[in-house]
């Protein structure tokens, strides 16, 4: 192979490799579920908290329905959407040692966890795991009293 042809082939190969490296990774689709859609009619978001490290894994939402006095907690995944990983939503009502939770290997969200809590403080939170099974969590103090 003449030197000029070999140089052209090498240059073309380098350009092809650089073009592949310049293509951005496909963006992950947004989670199609909303906190209100999961908790149902009459619920409004009153608080939210991210579950994050250097990456946003999920957002935990606390909702309230003034019509029936129920709180609702849902954890909406922000990473590994569509892939089943451990995800959990949890809620505790002041005066009770019971932590109500919904957790499992979910693709989009955990919850809803609904409980009557009018006139009481609540603790709420969630868990999200990566594909390797490492868990990240958030758990509030007693708040949203009344």
pLDDT digits (tens, 9 = 90+) for 42-63: 999 999 999 999 999 999 999 9
Return the structure tokens found at 49. Answer: 């908290």
pLDDT digits (tens, 9 = 90+) for 116-144: 999 999 999 999 999 999 999 999 999 99
pTM: 0.81
Return the structure tokens found at 18. Answer: 């650089």
Angstrom CA distances, 46 to 63, 71, 89, stand at 5, 10, 16
Fold of 35-139: Immunoglobulin-like (2.60.40)
User: Any idea where the domains of the chain sit in the sequence?
Assistant: 35-139
Burial class (CB within 10 angstroms; exposed 0-12, middle 13-18, buried 19+) of 99: middle
């Amino acid at each position: 192979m003449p030197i000029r042809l070999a140089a052209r082939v090498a240059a073309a190969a380098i350009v092809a490799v650089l073009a592949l490296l310049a293509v951005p990774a496909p963006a992950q689709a947004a989670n199609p579920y909303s906190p209100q859609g999961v908790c149902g009619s009459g619920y409004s978001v009153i608080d939210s908290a991210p579950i994050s490290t250097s990456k946003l894994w999920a957002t935990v939402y606390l909702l309230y329905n003034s019509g029936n006095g129920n709180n609702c907690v849902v954890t909406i995944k922000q990473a590994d959407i569509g892939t089943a990983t451990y995800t959990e939503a949890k809620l505790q009502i002041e005066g009770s040692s019971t932590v109500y939770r919904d957790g499992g290997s979910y693709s989009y969200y955990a919850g809803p966890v609904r409980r009557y809590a009018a006139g009481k403080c609540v603790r709420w939170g969630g868990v999200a795991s990566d594909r390797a099974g490492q868990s990240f969590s958030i758990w509030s103090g007693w708040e949203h009293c009344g």
